[in-house]
Chains A and B, each alone.
Chain A
């Protein structure tokens, strides 16, 4: 019913390709988030679905009906905008009922629907106010109310929480999830905030440079990123990456090396690779959270310590080199440890990686080679590793 299908959508402006051959199928009732950095084409993709922009190539289907050339009003969609876009010359009631009045619904039904939406969003007492008398969060609710009264097949949301303050944003995030559960309508959501994407979606489409990098459930994007871009974009703080080469049974980065069995991953001597490891998969040697399948200890010097309360971020300089001014990300390793761990700035520590969570990417294409690397010798059961191999 409320499914959305994009077939090879391409949008070209004079000399820029904003969206490049994007094909996605969103099932009825799904909450799919398009996420990516500014200018990655996510908003243009959404505008194409809405009909506010015509694609240069490709077709849009909503609810199994081709709508590529239909105007926005005939597509059965509702949209919530980043700048909220309430009509300043109408009160809240008129704003919410705008679409219904245009479609000449009977007065009683309009009243009934507006009341129901107001109840869901708890804005019943605001109906006769003007938009400029509302707070940011209230305006956002009214904008959502305007979208839900028409009972569209698909909701489109373009960074709806971007203009709210941090606390309200987290609150509205849970409200949106609740709303999705209550209404069961398909939602396509655009954001540049990976936390919003992770928490609310059934699936995430990570976009970069006009192309979809990965379309998968949030945890898959997190645990098995399709390429280096996804790996670094999803997760906060982001994944550590190190350029390296395959040398015998080792992956050799500039300041350290990790032993493995490159053949299992189809790699040969001299292949250039990128190693990725998330901060929480780095552990201090000797702490209780040291993983079973640990790599050999890597001697590092601690640089900056950031206590967050529930965890501590430790910036490490691998190789034990001088922990002088090393702001360049390339040679820093970020580790997240338990707040009780005994670490201080500017001391020498040994850390290990959790092998099952070391990611390997092709250094040239950035494509993922493996999520979890094999131990060095053949004593391991190769199929165990093969299972995680992509």
Chain B
């Protein structure tokens, strides 16, 4: 055997080694795959950074590295536009939506997760079906409604265009079903005895929900909350169409980034810098909350 190996060409020897000892190949493939995924996910961020660091006049000469490094864009974005206001708007919209979704979703989750009543499953399916519709399907009627063009029994609909209501309401409606689903799964796993105990001790059903069931479902509530927050913070469609793009009219982050397009020139470096600044809060949130999110999602998946 030993003499055989010595006679073989290096390539053949390597192949034979790989067959006899596949662990080395697996390790190698693991690194190849990991590096591939790291590059595909991280390269866009690197590219954003390259563009953001390139001075305005040299945007045509970008290579794999910036032709010159000028971090001035990160300051300029706040000078040209009140970018911090756009970010603040996004933050407020996301927080408001998350609060509404968690509050109403908890009540609905309690009902769907802990009570039995006729028609529970069909009702849950109908609620979930709402989230399957493309948001565009709701746009025209909602736009008419929020711009005061709908009259019901002689009462004109309120003009919510350019206010948070025009965005928070559709967001809440669209992202509520998923939250209800996650929360219902979690709430249904709290033993009945604990709720009974709380009620005997002196809470109402609602009190038991807030004092016992929700605290014990913290990972689920965190998951639903963080997912809603991220989705709303990044939302484009309604954010773009339900206001006129002015920071003082509750235009969110995406409007801020798009507003660096001038009529005659595109400030790509500013847009890139704004994107990086805008994505930072979410990146931090994900890093902080990721353990809870993962445990929340898998807990929902594993039980039952």
Contact = CB atoms under 8 A, between A and B. Distances in A.
Contacts of A85: 191, 193-194, 196-197
A103 B198 contact: no
A103 B194 contact: no
B203 interface: yes
Given A82-B193, A88-B216, A89-B216, A99 B199 contact: no
Interface in B182-221: 191, 193-194, 196-204, 207, 212, 215-216
A52 B196 CA distance: 7
Given A88-B216, A89-B215, A99 B193 contact: no
Contacts of A229: none
A343 B196 CA distance: 54
A255 to B, nearest CB: 49
B219 to A, nearest CB: 12
B213 to A, nearest CB: 10
Nearest to A79: B200
Nearest to A99: B201
A222 interface: no
Interface of A is mostly: loop
**B interface residue count range (under 10 / 10 to 19 / 20 to 34 / 35 or more):** 10 to 19
A81 B200 CA distance: 11
Contacts of B198: 87, 98
Given A85-B191, A89-B215, A89-B216, A73 B203 contact: yes
B114 to A, nearest CB: 13
Given A87-B212, A89-B216, A81 B193 contact: yes
Contacts of B215: 89
Nearest to A143: B197
A229 B200 CA distance: 33
Contact of A50 (B200, B202, B203, B204): B200
B173 to A, nearest CB: 32
A35 interface: no
A87 B197 contact: yes
B98 to A, nearest CB: 22
A89 to B, nearest CB: 5
A82 to B, nearest CB: 7
A339 to B, nearest CB: 44
Nearest to B204: A71
A84 B216 CA distance: 16
Contact of A81 (B196, B204, B207, B216): B196
A52 B194 CA distance: 12
A77 interface: yes
A102 B202 CA distance: 6
24 contacts: A50-B196, A51-B199, A51-B200, A52-B196, A52-B199, A73-B199, A73-B200, A73-B202, A73-B203, A73-B204, A78-B201, A79-B196, A81-B196, A82-B193, A83-B191, A85-B194, A85-B197, A87-B194, A87-B216, A98-B198, A102-B207, A146-B197, A146-B201, A150-B201
